[in-house]
Amino acid sequence: MKRHSDNKKGAPTGPSQRQLRAGELIRHALVEILREEELADEALQNISVTVSEVRMSPDLKHAVCFVEPLGAGLTGQDTTEVIKGLNRVAKFLRGRLGRSIDMKFTPDLKFIHDESFGTAAYMDQLFQDPRVQQDTRRLSDVIGDED
């Protein structure tokens, strides 16, 4: 018997609770591995990496890891080189991950640069603009008059 679904065909659906839980489990384990392990790739020397999000495929066999290299700008190293370095050591990280998590399959890892940090900095810069601050003051004056 076919199960009825409330979701209309073609409507976008988000990740399941299972995918979200597995992604957080992988993220926490990766943070510990990256903090403790000394990675052999030269692009990753003296670089601290923030793992901001891990998105899992529906079958939990593939994980896309969004990362932000923290020391890349300070050492003059391009962030793309750090991401390439992480993708080169992905199999090593997957092996370490398999020992630290309790899942049926250890997912394949793919690392992508997280652009949300740059977007947040740009938005913060916009809010510092005097013209935008003038508009927000006007709005607060209007809201303040109602009290």
Place of tokens 């065909």: 9
Question: Is the pTM of the predicted complex or chain greater than 0.75?
Answer: no
Q: pLDDT per residue over 33-82, tens digit each?
A: 999 988 888 888 888 889 999 999 999 999 999 999 885 554 446 788 88
Q: In whole numbers, what is the pLDDT of the chain averaged over residues?
A: 82
Q: Is the dihedral of CA 40, 37, 33, 61 positive or negative?
A: positive
CB atoms within 10 A of CB 89: 19
CA 63 to chain centre: 11
Residue 27, pLDDT score = 95
Q: Are strands 62-69 and 108-113 parallel, antiparallel or unpaired?
A: parallel
CB atoms within 10 A of CB 107: 23
DSSP 8-state code for residue 42: G
Mean pLDDT value across residues 108-132: 83
Q: Above 90 in pLDDT, residue 20?
A: yes
Q: Above 70 in pLDDT, residue 6?
A: no
Residue 39, pLDDT score = 86
Q: Above 50 in pLDDT, residue 114?
A: yes
The rounded percent of the chain whose pLDDT value lies above 70 is 80
Mean pLDDT value across residues 94-106: 92
Mean pLDDT value across residues 20-26: 94
Residue 147, pLDDT score = 46
- CA nearest 101: which of 15, 35, 39, 22? 22
> Which CA distances in Å does 114 have to 13, 20, 53, 64, 71?
22, 18, 9, 11, 15
Q: For residue 85, count CB atoms less than 10 angstroms from its CB and return exposed for 0-12, middle for 13-18, buried for 19 or more.
A: buried
Place of tokens 């903090």: 35
Residue 8, pLDDT score = 60
DSSP 8-state code for residue 134: H
For 69, the enclosing helix (H) or strand (E) is strand 62-69
Question: Residue 142: pLDDT band by 50, 70, 90 thresholds?
Answer: low
Residue of higher predicted confidence among 115 and 87: 87
